[in-house]
Each structure stands twice: as C-alpha cells, then as structure tokens.
Structure 1
Amino acid sequence: MAREGRTNQDSYDEGMAVRRQVLGATHVDRATNGIVPATADYQDLITRYAWGEIWTRPGLDRKMRSVATMTALIAHGHYDELAMHLRAAQRNGLTRDEIVEVVLQSAIYCGVPAANSAFAVVKVVFEEEPPTD
C-alpha cells in the first residue's frame, strides 16, 4: 500500500529513480529488459515496494539502508545479491573500510562461515574496479 497521498504510480516512478541511483542504470536496464510475463508482477512489486516505499522513507539515509541490507544478505546467505549491494553501498557513500567493518561485525552476529563467504564476494567486487575512497 502506498504511503498517504501517493499513488502506486508515484511509488513506481520514485522507486525506479532510486533503484537506478542505488543499483546503477546498467543493472536496472538489464533487469527490466529481461522482464517476461512470469516476472512482470514481481518486477513491479520490488520497484514499488522495496524501492518506492522502503528506500524512499525518510527514517534512514542510504548509507544506513545499505548497511542493513548487506547484513541481512550475509545473514541469509544471499551472496549473489550481496555483490550487487556491495557496489550499491559504495554508490551510497560507504567506503571500502566501512564495508569491511560491516562484514566483520556480521561475523559475530551472523557467523564466521557467513563472513567467510561474504569476504569472498567482497574480494571479487573490490577487484572489479579501483577504489574510490
């Protein structure tokens, strides 16, 4: 359900804008160009709710949302999504040192095996591009 005064179209439009800013246009274009009838409702759902209703809320800045997202992905073993959100975290202003700290913190609360897997993803993502911080 859209926040008061907002339509589903507002949520979709704002969600798509935030999704592009956070994940990058290349990723979003690839996802939206790959929409088929079986995935259309899902893509609409995540654009409106995850991006248009949650990521646009004023309660947390994007850095904090990235920290929460990375931790949840590590905790649940979603390492393919983690790679995407490590890149997003850097777009959202987290430094590589801060990302490493999030993974170290996760080792204690999510488990060492989860952190081992997360650090393997961090290594690959960090090797893809030179550091910006």
Structure 2
Amino acid sequence: MNVVNPERSGDASRYGAVQPGATGQEIYDAGMVVRREVLGDAHVDRANAGIDSFTEDYQDMITRIAWGGIWTRPGLSRQMRSAVTLTALVAHGHWEELAMHIRAALNNGLSRDEIKEILLQTAIYCSVPSANSAFKTAQKVFADIDAAPAPNSPNSPN
C-alpha cells in the first residue's frame, strides 16, 4: 500500500486537519468544530452528555477520524459530503443516522429539493424499498423541523 507523505506531496493543505506534526488534540479540536457546525451544538452536547467509560474511546475516535480526519478535508464541499453520507446511510438502512444527517445536510446548505433528488437517486442505486424508508424518514425530519418554534419566538425554549 502506498501512503502519501504530505511533506513530499507539495500540497499538505489537502489533508485538512491531519497535517504533518498535528497533534491528536489538534485533530480532535478541528473535528469537534466541524462536528458542531454540521450536526449542531444541541446534538453534540447530547452525545457528549451520554459519554461514559464504555463509549468515551468511540466518541473520541469518531471526532478525530470522521470529523477531524475526513470532514475537514478540502477536497469535497460539505454539501457533497452530505450527499455521499445520505446515500451511504440509505444503502445500509441506517435510518436513525439518516435522520440526523438529513438535518446536517440542511445545516450544510442542501435544500429539501436537493435532498429529495438525492433520495430519488438512491431508489435506483440502493433500492426502491430503501428509498421508501428514506423518504418516510425525511418527511418526519421535515415535519419535526416545521413544528418546532422558530428561534427567539415567544414559544421558543431559549
């Protein structure tokens, strides 16, 4: 297996937070920034509140590797990363994660129509039954968003 040495590649910036000499803490911190931007503070705070001695290594790993190592890379836009993620989640039937990443896709700037188009594409490449479940999941997410009080409204908890 060939491993690219970023110091020799001439373009170390293409590696996002995983730069030569970056510490694990720097990669974690960069991952946490992106994780919060994509998933929202409330989601990340809930996930962190549930960390215990059994899950702490897992949470650290996904923050460093998924969010710090992959989502910080400049090679794809966040919208494209969301599209790929939605497709992968549909393909594998991960409906709870799909709901979370539909919200993330909206945070990343995808429109509901673009999400609909992604889900239509999954009907062909992942299966119609999977897309059926994905559309139901998206409908629920959109209904929940539409039913939530607007931020800073009299009915908002903040």
Matched with 1:48 is 64
Instruction: Please give the secondary structure, in 2, of the residue aligned with 1:63.
Output: helix
Q: Which has the higher contact order (CA 8 A, sep 6+)?
A: 1
Distance 1:4 1:26 in 2: 32
State the TM-score, normalized to the length of structure 1. Answer: 0.95
1:69: Cα distance to partner?
Answer: 0.2
Letter in 1 for 2:91: A
Q: What value does the CA root-mean-square deviation take over the aligned residues?
A: 0.8
State the TM-score, normalized to the length of structure 2. Answer: 0.80
Q: Is the 8 A contact 1:86 1:122 kept in 2?
A: yes
Q: 13, 22, 43: which is aligned to 2:38?
A: 22
1:98-113 equivalences under 5 Å are: 98-113=114-129
Distance 1:41 1:107 in 2: 36
Matched with 2:110 is 94
Structure 1 residue 57 and structure 2 residue 87: aligned? no
Runs of 4+ aligned structure 1 residues displaced above 3 Å come to: none
Structure 2: gaps (5+ residues): 1-17, 147-158
Structure 1: gaps (5+ residues): none
Structure 1 residue 79 and structure 2 residue 79: aligned? no
Residue-by-residue CA offset, 1:64-122 (whole Å, 9 max, x unaligned): 00000000000000000000000000000000000000000000000000001001101
Instruction: From the CA coordinates, give the structure whose radius of gyration is larger.
Output: 2
Distance 1:108 1:15 in 2: 33
Q: Is the 8 A contact 1:14 1:52 kept in 2?
A: yes
Report how many aligned residue pairs link the two structures.
Answer: 129
Distance 2:73 2:145 in 1: 30
Query: Identity percentage over the alignment?
Result: 63
Q: 53, 73, 90: which is aligned to 1:37?
A: 53
